[in-house]
Structure 1
Amino acid sequence: MSTDLRQFRRVVLKVGSSLLVDRARGRLNHAWLAALAEDIADLHAKGADVLVVSSGAIAMGRTVLGLPSGPLRLEESQAAAAVGQITLARTWSEVLAHHGITAGQILVTLADTEQRRRYLNARATTLKLLEMRAVPVINENDTVATSEIRYGDNDRLAARVATMIGADLLVLFSDIDGLYTAPPASDPNAEHIPVVDRITPAIEAMAGGAASELSRGGMRTKVEAGKIATAGGTHMIIADGRTKNPLKRVAEGGRCTWFLTPSNPATARKTWIAGALEPRGTLYVDEGAERALHGGASLLPVGVRRIEGAFRRGDAVIIRSESRVLGRGLVAYDAEDAARIIGRPSREIERLLGYPGRTEMVHRDDMALSD
């Protein structure tokens, strides 16, 4: 696999607590973070979209609040996250601003990437930030999350985010330089695996347990993240993040493990829409809309003649003309609101609904048309 990161148009970087926080002092590792910001700025200047999934809020907050070392109760973790998030967000904004890059913070939980209604909101906001050349910094919303805090799903969250926005590369920075045949700390004969073409049961069996108190995940969760990412058309790297300029190190051929995907984000997403979701309704479109769809356009309300079904925003629906099925898509409106705006131009949506809704009934990125 080529290590030239310029081949990737959209890159997600996942940064764990053990890298961001100096455990001995309980402070942010500013020098390391500034060096990573240099890497991000270099990739950003080459035209790539860059997004960061950052941990560290709980680790920072527990220091500020003077909480003791060791496991925290759930409510203590949530309180620590509320305090630590302020420092973390400010720091990311400052280190990126030094390179003339605007940072935007988005707080999510796994549910925001898995429940289609919330997924569409999170995706639309993130893509708009990328369109405006900002770097979204996505943090786990540990002030309200429960399963993420208890089970350490930060790696899986990063993979969900990567597939949600159609990233073609996810980099998980860790305190190890990739996957080994066995945990290298306990097995001196463990061998490094540079490339994983497919995640098999044998590959999964090589994963170890949790890595540290600050980093709740381990190799097991990283391999799980690899399964999510590669199924969504995203290549994934596990790389050592402990050195300065860790992304530059990867680009220069530093040791890491690549998890390869045979697909690409657009193809994987359309396959998911076309076959993995049960449709909840039907949108009947006119001839003009049918031609526009096959030309690559989104489906606008003005092109919809009538609807059937009791669907909700984010549900899969069938898109068809009066004579044939054209494909499927994720609808941007509940059935009741959709019925009020069909056949009308998008500029009238706010007047008809009382709020400024989406311009499209089904965005082209949320659509899979039949051949």
Structure 2
Amino acid sequence: MNQIIVIKIGTSSLTVPDTGSLALSTIATLVETLTNLRQQGYQVILVSSGAVGVGCGRLGISKRPQTLHQKQAIAAVGQGRLIRIYDDLFNNLGQPIAQILLTRHDFKERSSYVNANNTLQALLDLGVIPVVNENDTVATDELKFGDNDTLSALVASLVGADWLFLLTDVDKLYSADPRLVPSATPIDLVASDELSNLDISVGGSGTSWGTGGMVTKITAARIATGAGVTTVITNGKKPSNIIKILAGRAIGTRFEPQPRPENARKRWIANGLVSKGKIYLDDGALKAISEQGKSLLSAGIIAVEGDFYSADAVDLYSQDNLKIARGIVNYSSNELQLIKGKKSHNINDILGYEGAETVIHRDNLVIIN
């Protein structure tokens, strides 16, 4: 099977500093690089920011808008221009592309999630490069990804990608923001068992035109590597480095992947769903679900946080506040407050009606840490 590569390029790499105008030479190099990858047999997905920046340029706006409705309107202006530039450049090299606009809803609903995957896979099989962006014009605050780093990681998880490249305005991850701390040291490799403890404050925030920064890239790396995707942070002004990295060159910062979840449904639970609450477990329940592959029972629950309903996603925590797993719950938060710590055979008497034997069935449970 051909390897799948997801490349995310941020606004800071696509635009000229302080102006918001497009850096056409960088985009042209990116297009040439991705076309070369396709010719080498890789299946390629591009996650591209820049719609708001391009829209601001077209409208003569000097600062990134702050309100949601302004961003949505300006993104609508910029998205068409952005995809036209990509289409023109790719077309000159004989490479077909497709525009895919997604919202968080497309990952939250199982049917939409499966359909999005099927569409992307069909495009890849046709030799097309999908160009993905958030559908800013319809996304609400509750259903926004927040940044395209997160979107790219979720797309990589969705399609079962082999690689995720996060192209940004620095060469690699540093121990601190090198623009502010000259003594900051570069980080070349983050092992799979080190990422969960990595300080997400390193590297600084995004540019005035972008929404991300190194914090969101580390968060994206956690999502992607948790889905079994090797992730690399590298300089967006040098897209050709992608080919060198795939050939074995140690460029940028590489995050080693965790073992891939055993099926697509569990990847959806781990990364596609938005957690609605927290359930804290005793040591016996933690061992049962993480080491013995068992379902979660009410007896092992010691505390419940949040307001959620049956069939919502919740995160499972140890008593020392370490996130262990995520699952789809069979009871609401109000019901769990009544049955936590109780034996399963007592649930019906406590609730006054027949309930599920398990709080979260093992088929709807994925271990995260």
* TM-score bin, normalised by smaller chain: 0.5 to 0.7
- 1:89-168 alignment runs, 5 A limit: 89-147=83-141, 152-168=146-162
2:199 paired with 1:188: no
Report % sequence identity. Answer: 35
Which of 255, 260, 277 does residue 259 from structure 1 map onto?
255
Partners in 2 of 1:222 and 1:187 — Cα distance? 19
Q: Distance in 1 between matches of 2:60 and 2:196?
A: 43
Once residues 62 and 100 of structure 2 are traced to their aligned partners in structure 1, the CA distance between those partners, rounded to angstroms, is: 29
For residues 328-357 of structure 1, the C-alpha deviation after alignment (integer angstroms, 9 at most, x for no partner) is: xxxxxxxxxxxxxxxxxxxxxxxxxxxxxx
Matching residue within 142, 149, 165 for 1:171: 165
How far apart, CA to CA, are the structure 2 residues paired with 1:149 and 1:29?
30
The structure 2 residue matched to 1:204, chosen from 187, 199, 210, is: 199
- Count residues with an aligned counterpart: 277
**Counterpart pick for 1:31 among 5, 25, 34:** 25
Report the alpha carbon displacement of residue 72 of structure 1 after superposing the two structures with TM.
2.8
Match of 1:107, SS state, is strand
- SS of alignment partner, residue 238 of structure 2: coil
For the 8 Å contact 1:180–1:206, the answer to whether it is kept is: no
> What secondary structure is seen at the aligned counterpart in 2 of 1:106?
strand
Structure 2 CA distance for partners of 1:141 and 1:242, relative to 1, 3 Å: same
Tell me how far apart the structure 2 counterparts of residues 273 and 202 of structure 1 sit (CA, whole Å): 24
Other structure's SS at 1:50 match: strand
Normalising by the residue count of structure 2, what TM-score does the alignment of the two structures yield? 0.67
1:263 maps to amino acid = P
Q: Is the 8 A contact 2:157 2:267 kept in 1?
A: no
Separation (CA, whole Å) in 1 of partners of 2:177 and 2:222: 20
Indicate the residue corresponding to 1:218 in structure 2: 213
**What is the match of residue 355 of structure 1?**
none
- Cα deviation, residue 256, structure 1: 0.4
Gaps of 5+ in 1: 1-6, 278-311, 313-371
Please give the secondary structure, in 1, of the residue aligned with 2:5. strand
- Alpha-carbon distance, 1:271 to partner: 5.1
Find the residue that maps to 1:237 and give its secondary structure. strand
Q: 1:63 to 1:49 in 2, by over 3 A?
A: same
Q: Structure 1 residues 271 and 73, CA, compared in 2 at 3 Å: closer, same or farther?
A: closer
SS of the residue aligned with 2:165? strand
Using the alignment, how far apart are the partners of 1:49 and 1:92 within structure 2? 17
2:4 maps to what in 1?
10
Please give the alpha-carbon distance, in whole angstroms, between the structure 2 residues aligned to 1:8 and 1:179.
29
| 1:61 aligned onto 2:61 | no
Displacement of 1:201 in angstroms is 4.8
- Change in 2 beyond 3 A, CA 1:142/1:271: closer
Mapped partners of 2:142, 2:207: distance in 1: 16
User: Could you tell me which residue of structure 2 aligns to residue 229 of structure 1?
Assistant: 224
Residues 91 and 246 of structure 1, relative CA distance in 2, 3 Å threshold: farther
Counterpart CA distance in 1 for 2:113 and 2:270 is 18
* 8 Å contact kept, 2:154–2:223: yes
Tell me the distance in 2 between the aligned counterparts of 1:96 and 1:148: 34
2:13 is paired with a residue whose SS is helix
Contact 2:6-2:46 at 8 Å conserved across structures = yes
Q: Distance in 2 between matches of 1:173 and 1:8?
A: 22
